[in-house]
Structures are given as structure tokens and as C-alpha cells.
Copies of this chain bind each other. A is one copy, B any other.
Amino acid sequence: MSNTEALVEDYIAMWNETDPDERRSLVARTVTEDATHLDPLMSGNGIDGISAMIAGAQQQFPGHSFRLISGPDAHHDRVRFSWSLAADGEGPVAVGVDFATVADDGRMRSVTGFLEPAA
């Protein structure tokens, strides 16, 4: 698995981790201290801010989980990948693409999310 693949696997895992301590560990491994996340619905800054943002998303969509559906596609320090959010055995309630920049230490520094139009 490439570094980028492992990074994006951790990124998906951090969105799905409901234990607060485990989640914070995953977030700290995946994004930098000065990281920013911005999508149409949510934003969060730094490890604690992003961990709290994810907790909020989990409360909004209990029993749902994120899955990687395409990518990662990377060049230089940039990466993009697509994901879906769905309850077990159900069709997705959301599909989106995230674009990120990767810091020298291999963690994501800036993540921008977009939502695909509902099918």
C-alpha cells in the first residue's frame, strides 16, 4: 500500500471511529495540528476541531459509515478521492469528493470536500 493509500485509509477510518479517544488518535495521525477542513456543510480546524466535527457528523448519521469509492489519485502534494456515506446494506445517503494537500510529514493539511448531486 502506498503512503497515500494508507493516509486515505486512515482518513476514512477516522470518520468512522466512534470512540472519542481512538478517533482523536486517528485524526492526529492523519491531519496536521494546523489542518483545516471545509465542505459545504461542515468545517473544522486542528486535530480537536476536526475530531469534534466528525463527532457531530456521526450524531447526524448514526449507524452510517464512510467508504472509499474511488482513488486516491495523487500528484505532487495533492490528492483527491471519492467516498460514500451509507447505512449497512443501504444505498448511499451522500457521495462526495475530497481534495487535500499533504504536508511534508505526510499528514493532510488542507481538506476541501464537495458533494455530488443526489442521483
Q: Which A residues have a C-beta under 8 Å from some C-beta of B?
A: 38-40, 73, 75-76, 78, 80, 97, 99, 112, 114
Contacts and interface: CB of A to CB of B under 8 A. Distances in A.
B75 A114 contact: yes
A45 to B, nearest CB: 13
Given A99-B80, A99-B99, A40 B112 contact: no
Nearest to A76: B38
Main secondary structure of the interface of A (DSSP, over half): strand
Q: Please state the number of chain copies in the assembly.
A: 2
A76 B40 CA distance: 7
Nearest to A97: B80
The 10 closest A-B pairs by CB, nearest first: A40-B75, A99-B99, A78-B112, A80-B114, A38-B76, A73-B114, A38-B78, A99-B112, A75-B114, A39-B75
